Chains A and B, each alone.
Chain A
């Protein structure tokens, strides 16, 4: 019945005035981002090396300073959830730079003159950014056994689901910001002012509870804070005290879902308008 009505109006639910919602177009946008990712050797190396540098250099330095706690957890184990979060943060934000890049080098116009709805383009960028981030986070999980953490199938599955949520939230947020920026220079400036505070106020390196009240309030707006906390639920499940997760897992998931929904909507709305 519903479909007959839509046909009568000559407008299916996926049809906007800008064009149709096209899965094929989403597929090819995602395919392009993956090809570009694997062809940029420098980006690939940095992506793989950055988390390992943090984990083993910063991690082992602080492990010496702090030492293992009563339950035998080292600082290096403690920061693994945070470093997974950092990997996703950098990857997701970096993938949204492609919008600015495409604008600067004209390729965005090639996409914008295609007869697909603007939401199609936003979804293409969102899905590619999310998938790239999740795969990098997943690759990093391979070091968990070497840190003496017990990660089984259940943990991996749970982590994949949570990482998808965190990646989507941050990619959507990055996409919203990137859609206002017209130069790569501006992107670098803005993102440094956003990315680094997001990382340091996420509970990745120290518990959010240890922060002064004002900073803690900012942390609780930060999606990565909920993301890192949710990773701790999986990877540091047996912990108690300062190293343990600080919020209920259901709250983490709820905040991430709400945050993603808001920013997916906002970035789609920004792309939809025409000057």
Chain B
């Protein structure tokens, strides 16, 4: 049985449908990537799954429990790492973890044992007595992930776990997530806007305008593109786009790097492009498809165009209570 089931989920928010009939399943033990441009319904869906938000119609089940009717049981089954840091800066690492254990009704001895164990896994044992406000961004993230696993959840939700971290720290956090996943056996449900991070997922769902537009393994998604990506930069991309549309019947996506085309046998297409285009070509690049290309192909947009929408809480249906 899948550990998460979402069926025709609808959430209306200020007159528009933030989630508009989304449907997907997450299998037990997998690392599931949930991608989409900002405003596509990612955070709303996560907030519904972790019971912070109600929904209008459809169904959402986590670990077999109904998110609407049995939120307490859903909460016992999940661990959460939010986009923003939700540690108490005025408490020590140990105190933050102890708070969590007691909120999940563990007795003192169990709490102590779990805290010792998890601090060891995240490599923060020697800093357990230090105030969290003195921690670096990467350390805070590690501590939050450790906290999310203390009560041994079936599913760990990671909402942009590496947002705002430098590339090296990001890598470290990922190594750590994989390590803890192996140790805990938890299913991981994560969002990210770093496409290289999405590649490590067992399966990926892409949400756009509140609907799931693709849901498959990364290799399968890339295979579905059937071809190569050509990025061509010209002196006038707008005109070039119209010309490519007219001459080759292709619909290139406009990105910062240039026009993005999906073609079969790209190496044979490039000479034709040079002949066919009536304007100066600045650069041409050809590459095998990546998840990012899948994303651009399906949504017509670059995920980075939207970027992480940081701390604009008022603009999305966050649970305020």
Residues of A within 8 A of B1 (CB): none
* CA distance in complex: A25, B319 (Å): 21
B residues 247-290 in Cβ contact with A at 8 Å: none
Residue from the list B52, B89, B102, B317 in contact with A109, Cβ < 8 A: B52
Please tell me if the beta carbons of B52 and A112 are within 8 angstroms of each other in the complex: yes
Known: A18-B72, A36-B90, A275-B54. A112 touches B321 (CB 8 A): yes
B82 contacts partner chain A, Cβ-Cβ < 8 Å: yes
Residues of B within 8 A of A22 (CB): 103, 105
Residues of A within 8 A of B80 (CB): 109, 113
From residue B92, how far is it (CB to closest CB) to chain A in Å? 9
* CA distance in complex: A32, B147 (Å): 16
Residues of B within 8 A of A25 (CB): 102-103, 105
From residue B10, how far is it (CB to closest CB) to chain A in Å? 15
Residues of A within 8 A of B321 (CB): 112, 179, 270-271, 273-275
A residues 187-206 in Cβ contact with B at 8 Å: none
Known: A22-B105, A109-B82, A113-B50. A275 touches B75 (CB 8 A): no
A64 contacts partner chain B, Cβ-Cβ < 8 Å: no
A3 contacts partner chain B, Cβ-Cβ < 8 Å: no
B residues 216-233 in Cβ contact with A at 8 Å: none
On chain A, which size bracket covers the interface? Answer: 35 or more
B117 contacts partner chain A, Cβ-Cβ < 8 Å: no
Please tell me if the beta carbons of B319 and A112 are within 8 angstroms of each other in the complex: yes
Count of chain B residues with a beta carbon within 8 Å of a chain A beta carbon: 37
A114 contacts partner chain B, Cβ-Cβ < 8 Å: yes
Residues of B within 8 A of A103 (CB): 320
User: Contact residues of B with A, CB < 8 Å?
Assistant: 50-54, 69-73, 75-76, 78, 80, 82, 84-91, 95, 98-100, 102-105, 147, 313, 317, 319-321
Residues of B within 8 A of A24 (CB): 102, 105
Please tell me if the beta carbons of A17 and B71 are within 8 angstroms of each other in the complex: yes
Residues of A within 8 A of B52 (CB): 109, 112-113, 274
Secondary structure of the B contact surface, majority rule? loop
A185 contacts partner chain B, Cβ-Cβ < 8 Å: no
Task: Other than A274-B54, A275-B321, give 20 A-B pairs with Cβ distance below 8 A.
Answer: A16-B72, A17-B69, A18-B72, A22-B103, A28-B102, A35-B95, A107-B87, A110-B86, A110-B103, A114-B75, A116-B103, A117-B72, A179-B321, A182-B313, A271-B321, A274-B51, A274-B53, A274-B319, A275-B317, A275-B320
Q: Residue of B at shortest CB range from A271?
A: B321
Known: A103-B320, A107-B87, A110-B86. A19 touches B102 (CB 8 A): no
* CA distance in complex: A24, B105 (Å): 6
Residues of A within 8 A of B82 (CB): 106, 109
A39 contacts partner chain B, Cβ-Cβ < 8 Å: yes
* CA distance in complex: A105, B85 (Å): 8
Interchain Cβ contacts under 8 Å between A and B, 20 examples: A16-B72, A17-B70, A22-B103, A25-B102, A32-B99, A35-B90, A36-B90, A36-B91, A103-B320, A106-B85, A107-B88, A109-B52, A109-B80, A110-B99, A110-B100, A115-B104, A273-B321, A274-B321, A275-B319, A275-B320
Please tell me if the beta carbons of A109 and B86 are within 8 angstroms of each other in the complex: yes
Known: A24-B105, A275-B317, A275-B320. A106 touches B84 (CB 8 A): yes
Please tell me if the beta carbons of B105 and A113 are within 8 angstroms of each other in the complex: no
Please tell me if the beta carbons of B86 and A114 are within 8 angstroms of each other in the complex: no
* CA distance in complex: A27, B98 (Å): 12
Residues of B within 8 A of A105 (CB): 86, 89
Residues of A within 8 A of B50 (CB): 113
* CA distance in complex: A172, B42 (Å): 36
Q: Residue of A at shortest CB range from B77?
A: A115
Please tell me if the beta carbons of B86 and A106 are within 8 angstroms of each other in the complex: yes
